[in-house]
Each structure stands twice: as C-alpha cells, then as structure tokens.
C-alpha cells in the first residue's frame, strides 16, 4: 500500500500551470515540522514537493495561500531524470486530496 498523509504549511503561493496535454497542474512545497527534537533540542522541518492535478490543482490555487496549513493525502512517486549525463531521482507526493486546516493570516483578519 502506498499512502501518505502530510500536514504542514505552504512555503509559497500555489501556481497553476497547464501541460501540453491540457491538464492543469499545481506544484506546492509543504513544510512539515517533526514531532521530536534533535540532539540540540530543536524541532527540525522536512520539505515535501507535492503535485496536484486538475480539479485539486485548481482548488489549491483558488483557496490556498503561502503560510496556510493544509493536509495532503496521496501517494509517493519516484521519478528519474538525467542531468549532466548523471541519473538523478526525485521523490514526490502525488496528491489525491487537499484539505484546508488553517490560515496563516487568521489573526490579521480578525483584528
């Protein structure tokens, strides 16, 4: 079974693009803090590249902003490419759903 659920903050504004095949795509970066401290007593953060397609991509662009906390459910995918005659691999999350958890600007809007 290949399932991943991540809750974290968007590190930038979602950007909607269209592929040559007329599919809508949004790439987001999710900052997810670890639940434990390292040896220096600091909570580290992991950054995950998430790919959203079609309707999910459109909704993310429409409703999500940099700093918002979201929950992404999807699957991991490893993709291979070549750079300077060297094979490289990248692991991405292919999103099946995205849920809005909280806004980074909630306090600003309520004052």
Condensed to tens digits (0 to 9), the pLDDT of residues 84-94 reads 999 999 999 99
Residue with tokens 């790919």: 51
With contact defined as beta carbons under 8 Å apart, do 75 and 3 qualify? Answer: yes
In a domain, 109, yes or no: no
Which of these, 53, 45, 59, 48, lies nearest to 17 by C-alpha position? 53
**Proportion of the chain above pLDDT 90, given as a percent:** 89
Q: Are strands 86-102 and 69-83 parallel, antiparallel or unpaired?
A: antiparallel
Mean pLDDT estimate for the chain: 91
Q: Is the pLDDT of residue 41 over 70?
A: yes
Query: What range defines the domain where residue 58 resides?
Result: 4-104
Phi, psi of 61 (to 5 degrees): -65, -40
CATH number assigned to the domain comprising residue 44:
2.40.50.140
Per the structure, the count of domains in the chain is: 1
What pLDDT is attached to residue 109? 46
What pLDDT is attached to residue 58? 94
What pLDDT is attached to residue 102? 84
In a domain, 94, yes or no: yes
* Residue 103's pLDDT band (cuts 50, 70, 90): confident
Per the model's pLDDT, the better-predicted residue between 78 and 102 turns out to be 78
> Measured between alpha carbons, how far is 93 from 79 in angstroms, rounded to an integer?
11
Residue with tokens 């600007």: 105
Instruction: Report DSSP state, residue 56.
Output: H
> Measured between alpha carbons, how far is 42 from 108 in angstroms, rounded to an integer?
28
What pLDDT is attached to residue 59? 92
Q: Is the pLDDT of residue 100 over 80?
A: yes
> Measured between alpha carbons, how far is 21 from 5 in angstroms, rounded to an integer?
28
pLDDT average, residue stretch 57-71:
94
* Residue 75's pLDDT band (cuts 50, 70, 90): very high
């Amino acid at each position: 079974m290949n399932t991943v659920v991540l809750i974290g903050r968007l590190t930038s504004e979602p950007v909607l693009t269209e592929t040559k095949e007329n599919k809508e795509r949004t790439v987001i970066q999710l900052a997810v803090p670890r639940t434990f401290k390292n040896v220096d007593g600091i909570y580290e953060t992991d950054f995950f590249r998430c790919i959203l397609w079609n309707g999910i991509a459109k909704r993310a662009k429409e409703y999500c902003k940099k700093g918002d906390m979201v929950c992404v459910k999807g699957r991991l995918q490893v993709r291979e490419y070549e750079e300077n005659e060297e094979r490289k691999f990248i692991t991405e999350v292919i999103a099946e759903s995205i849920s809005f958890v909280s806004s980074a600007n909630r306090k600003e809007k309520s004052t």
